[in-house]
Amino acid sequence: MTGPSEPRDAFDTLRRPHQPIEPDPEFAAELRAALRAAVLAAGGTQMTTTDSRTVGSAARMGSLTPYLPVPDARRAIEFYVAVFGATPLGEPFVMADGTIGHAEVAIGDSVLMLAEEFPEIGHVVAPSGGATLRVEVPDADAAVERAVELGAERIGPVEDRGHGRSGRIRDPFGQRWLVAMTEREPTPEPTYRHGEVGYFTFTVPDDEKAKAFYGSVLGWRFAPGNVPRAWRVEGSGLPESGLWGGQAYAGWKLMYAVDDLAAAADRVRASGGVVRELKDEPYGRTADCVDDQGVEFWLWEE
C-alpha cells in the first residue's frame, strides 16, 4: 500500500486512452478506396442540399441546378456577387485542408452550387470549351464590362440577335456564361388597401418559450428578424408574420393599413379605444392602439 495518491479501486488503473496506431498500408489503401466508393456511390443524389422547404427566399432549388467546379471558390463567389448580383446562401463548407467542399449562391430565382476541384470524382474545370450557363442580369452591357474588369475573357460583343441584348464571357474560373438582359417583369411589391391586414405579429413576453412551444406543436420555424427578439415565422401560412418577444401583450397583434393615420387615430379615440404611441418606421407611420375591449393592434400608413 502506498500513498494517498494511489487509486482506490484497482480497476481504475485499467483506464487507457488509446494511442494512434498506423495500420498495414495495404489495408489502409483498400479501405480508402472502399470508403471513397461508398461516399461517391450515394453522394450524387445527396449533394443537392438546399432545403427547398424553406420558404421566403426568392431563390429555390429548381429542377435543374448547375454544380460548378472552380479552382478558388472564395474568389469565384466574390466574382458572382460582383458581376451577377449573387447572394451567398449560408456558409461555404470548408474541408479540413481549407478547400471549399461545397457552397451555394442565389442568382435571381435560381441556386448555383459550386465546389473546388475534386479530381477523384472528375469534378474539375474543363481545360477548354465546356457547357455554357445562361444568366439573366438587369444590364448585360454593364455586367460584361464588370466581368472583364475582374479578369473574365470577353467572347464577342454584347449585342441583340433578336432575343434581347446578351454577351458571352469565360470567367476567371473557366466557366462559360451567356449574360442576358432580364426580360421578365419584376414581381410587384404587394399593396394594401385601407382596412387590410399588412402584417401579423405574434407578441409574447418570452419569445424563446413561444418558439419552443409552436415549433413543437405546429412545426413552425423561425428566422431571425430585424430587431432584437423578433423572428420571422415560417409555416403559419400567413404572408407576412413574425414573433416578437419582450412584449406585455400575449397574442396575435395585427397591423391594419389605413389611408390617413391621424384621422384613423381620432376615430379610435372617438370609438372608445386608446392610441398609445405614434411612431415613424422605415416602412411608414404606425400607431399602437387598444380597442374598447382590450385587444391591441397597430394602425399603419404607408
Question: Which residues does residue 69 pair with via DSSP β-bridges, in sequence order?
Answer: 115
Could you tell me the three cell numbers for 216?
Answer: 413543437
Residue found under cell 444590364: 139
Q: Which is nearer to other proteins, 2 or 191 (CB)?
A: 2
Side-chain half-sphere CA neighbours of 276 within 13 A: 9
Q: Which stretch binds other proteins (CB under 8 A): 57-65, 161-169, 185-193, 269-277?
A: 57-65
82 binds other proteins (CB under 8 A): no
Site string for other proteins, 152-191 (x = CB under 8 A): ----------------------------------------
Q: Which residues contact 175 (CB under 8 A, 6 or more apart)?
A: 68, 70, 125, 130, 133
Q: Which stretch binds other proteins (CB under 8 A): 53-61, 158-166, 257-265, 283-291?
A: 53-61
Q: Which of 72, 117, 139, 234 binds other proteins (CB under 8 A)?
A: 234
Q: Which is nearer to other proteins, 45 or 191 (CB)?
A: 45
Question: Which residues does residue 221 pair with via DSSP β-bridges, in sequence order?
Answer: 234
The answer to whether 179 touches 166, Cβ cutoff 8 Å, is yes
- Per-residue DSSP letters for 163-184? SSEEEEEE-TTS-EEEEEE--S
Site of interaction with other proteins (CB under 8 A): 1-2, 6-16, 18-24, 27-28, 31-32, 34-36, 38-39, 42-43, 46-47, 49-52, 54-61, 87, 89-91, 93, 95-97, 101-102, 104, 106, 111, 223, 232, 234
